[in-house]
């Protein structure tokens, strides 16, 4: 049986959720997974596979034909899992799939999806890595993807999810059982959505990979792919930036609102509600939360706060964005990028023989269509997670009223324990307290970026507060993966939490550990973006291309090595960061 349920295992700090590593595919990485789930996961979320009728990872691999049925039947968390409370992706399995993919290398797959080649061990080839039959099936699948024969089918589940949202009841007026069923009834659709999201992501990777191949083999420069994908439009993870920019203009153009923001940001929501001249802003902000309230740090985790549950988060970002003048409007950058992209496409086709024009057009459209579809599918899944979050938050609130404790206690209860918890919350108080304590202890540690076979002992993990790095000095250069072309200079601003952006503003360079859509608005006022981790299909790259920002990802330990306040130069096409002045 593939993907066995997680168990509570004491790894040295007390019992917490832990999976079963694969013996056939032993290497796991936080690459990519650390962007989606940066924090310690909650027991409720990790118990979800127990109610899944199928594993979306396994189902997507079956559709592609990338692995044999025997490989998929290993009794382990083959494709990824939770180890020591943190999520990991199976790097060995990803690399074996790369080996079986004609025209692709392990290094290219790492750079595209994971951005982990600076930290991960090299792939150790084993007997069975190559499989001709799997390669044939994957080639057939890739051809169907190239001609976009599957895209409409893959997007059907998204329409079902949108309709599901429209038909949801008022959560305050339904029973506890009905609140829990909002989540449970959504599970089959969530599984299909995520399976299709994985397939769409694979399609985007196929388009990007083929486009890079043409640029490398026919145009002599693989980096030419970067301007070709800038400003493609219809990228939904960039949409909140445009909406927040409009809100920031309302504040910037109002002396009264500016004064509200100039005061301590704590209590800002109440001040705005009480201010008569804030009526237009409050109405627009309400509409913004209705549309984008599902976004936020760690938005894939139902237990975590997002913009809709904590409006202070987007207000802090608006406060940073209002410092920028109108010349930094995202729409102006987008218009410039579209013009540059069109010129890049024309230049590329002029360099190619007419015989290759049709092939180029086909590959180029595949890369764009699947990249846009990937962001749409992600948005739909995040919205569905958010509606379940709201229903379960109401359920947790009611349980705490009946039995004491905290509304957040619900997230420390597994699905199979939920009946007992709702019937008698006090009966699980000690277990919940222990799990909270263990989660807090784990959150103070840095999990290994990679491990092979067995997770290193917890007592070997670094403590976050004690991590020491030697800051770079003037003239030193860091290398990463090119994300978005262009050069820029600016003051380095190290930001570890998008809800606490500090003084970041116009003229600065954002240095982040990872990014998700909650970080996107911070891209607007800055000159460039540097990220510790991530591949060429990571969120930071996709949004930087829409906003025209030089971007370099997979810059290992950038948040530790680059001094906050240093003058840096970012070359997005070369993938380098130079300390100009420290």
**Long-range contacts, 287-292 (Cβ 8 Å, 24+):** 288/240, 288/243, 288/244, 288/247, 288/314, 289/314, 291/243, 292/239, 292/240, 292/243
Q: How far apart are CA 568 and CA 577, in angstroms?
A: 7
| Residue 233 pLDDT exceeds 70 | yes
Angle at 184 (CA atoms; ends 50, 388), nearest 5 degrees:
115
Instruction: Give 169-185 pLDDT, tens digit per residue.
Output: 999 999 999 999 999 99
pLDDT band at 424 (very low <50, low <70, confident <90, very high): very high
In words, the CATH class of domain 477-581 is alpha beta
- What residues does each domain of the chain span? 7-218+358-440, 477-581
Instruction: Give 522-553 pLDDT, tens digit per residue.
Output: 888 889 999 988 777 777 888 888 788 899 98
pLDDT band at 1 (very low <50, low <70, confident <90, very high): very low
In the 8-state DSSP scheme, what is residue 515? -
Nearest by Cα to 8 from 44, 36, 33, 56: 44
| Residue corresponding to tokens 């049925």 | 69
Average pLDDT over residues 458-486: 83
123 — phi, psi (to 5°)? Answer: -70, 135
DSSP string, 116-177: -TTTSPPP---TTS--HHHHHHHHHHHHHHHTTSSHHHHTHHHHHHHHHHHT---GGGS-HH
pLDDT band at 400 (very low <50, low <70, confident <90, very high): very high
DSSP string, 419-479: HHHHH-GGGGHHHHHHHHHHHHHHHTEE--SEEESSPPPGGGSEEGGG---PPP-TT-EEE
pLDDT band at 53 (very low <50, low <70, confident <90, very high): low
- Contact (Cβ atoms closer than 8 angstroms) between residue 260 and residue 250: no
Nearest by Cα to 318 from 391, 263, 243, 216: 243
Q: What is the mean pLDDT of the chain?
A: 88
Of the CA atoms within 13 Å of residue 402, those in its CB half-sphere come to 16
Confidence (pLDDT) at 469: 64
Classified as helix, coil or strand, 340 is helix
- Laid out side by side, the sheet with 528-531 consists of 477-479, 576-581, 567-571, 487-494, 508-512, 528-531, 551-553, 481-484
Report the DSSP beta bridge partners of residue 551. Answer: 484, 529
Instruction: Give 568-580 pLDDT, tens digit per residue.
Output: 999 988 899 999 9
């Amino acid at each position: 049986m593939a993907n066995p349920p997680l168990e509570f295992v004491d790894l040295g700090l007390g019992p917490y959720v832990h999976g079963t590593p694969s013996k056939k595919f032993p290497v796991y990485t936080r690459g990519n997974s650390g962007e989606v789930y940066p924090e310690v996961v909650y027991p409720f979320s990790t118990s979800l596979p127990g109610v899944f009728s199928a594993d979306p990872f396994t189902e997507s691999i079956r559709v592609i034909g990338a692995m044999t049925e025997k490989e998929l039947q290993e009794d382990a968390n083959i494709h990824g899992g939770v180890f020591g409370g943190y999520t990991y992706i199976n790097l060995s399995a990803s690399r074996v799939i790369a080996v079986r993919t004609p025209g692709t290398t392990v290094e290219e797959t790492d750079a595209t999806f994971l951005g982990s080649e600076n930290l991960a061990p090299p792939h150790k080839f084993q007997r069975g890595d190559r499989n001709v039959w799997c390669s044939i099936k994957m080639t057939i699948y890739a051809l169907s993807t190239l001609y976009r024969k599957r895209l409409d089918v893959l997007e059907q589940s998204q329409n079902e999810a949108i309709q599901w949202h429209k038909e949801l009841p008022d959560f305050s007026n339904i029973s506890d059982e009905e609140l829990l069923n909002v989540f449970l009834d959504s599970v089959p659709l969530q599984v299909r959505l995520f399976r299709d999201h994985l397939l769409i992501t694979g399609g985007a990777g196929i388009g990007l990979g083929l486009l890079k191949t043409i640029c490398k083999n026919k145009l002599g420069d693989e980096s030419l792919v970067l301007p070709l994908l800038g400003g493609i439009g219809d990228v939904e993870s960039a949409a909140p930036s445009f909406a927040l920019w409009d809100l920031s203009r309302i504040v910037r153009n109002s002396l009264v609102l500016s004064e509200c923001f100039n005061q301590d940001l704590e209590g800002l929501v109440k001040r705005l509600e009480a201010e008569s001249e804030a009526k237009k802003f409050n109405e627009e902000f309400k509409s913004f939360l209705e549309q984008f309230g599902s976004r936020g740090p760690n938005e894939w985790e139902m237990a975590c706060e997002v913009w809709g549950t904590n409006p202070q988060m987007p207000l802090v970002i608006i406060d940073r964005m209002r410092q920028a003048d109108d010349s930094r409007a995202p729409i102006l950058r987008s218009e410039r990028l579209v013009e540059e992209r069109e010129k890049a496409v024309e230049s590329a086709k002029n360099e190619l023989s007419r015989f290759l024009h049709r092939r180029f057009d086909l590959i180029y459209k595949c890369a764009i269509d699947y990249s846009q579809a990937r962001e749409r599918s992600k948005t739909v899944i995040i919205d569905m997670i958010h509606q379940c979050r709201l229903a379960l938050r109401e359920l947790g609130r009611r349980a705490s009223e009946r039995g004491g404790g905290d509304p957040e206690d619900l997230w420390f209860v597994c699905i199979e324990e939920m009946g007992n918890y709702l019937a008698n919350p006090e009966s699980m108080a000690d277990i919940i307290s222990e799990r909270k304590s263990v989660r807090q202890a784990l959150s103070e540690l840095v999990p290994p970026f990679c491990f092979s076979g067995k997770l290193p002992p917890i007592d070997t993990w670094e403590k976050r507060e004690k991590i020491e790095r030697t800051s770079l000095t003037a003239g030193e250069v860091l290398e990463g993966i090119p994300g978005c072309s262009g050069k820029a200079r600016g003051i380095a601003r190290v930001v570890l939490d998008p809800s606490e952006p500090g003084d970041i503003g116009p003229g600065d360079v954002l240095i982040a550990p990872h990014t998700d859509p909650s970080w996107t608005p911070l891209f607007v006022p800055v000159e460039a973006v540097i990220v510790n981790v991530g591949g060429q299909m990571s969120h930071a790259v996709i949004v930087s291309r829409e906003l025209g920002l030089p971007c370099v990802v997979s810059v290992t330990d950038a948040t530790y090595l680059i001094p906050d306040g240093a003058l840096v130069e970012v070359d997005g096409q070369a993938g380098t960061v130079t300390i100009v002045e420290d």
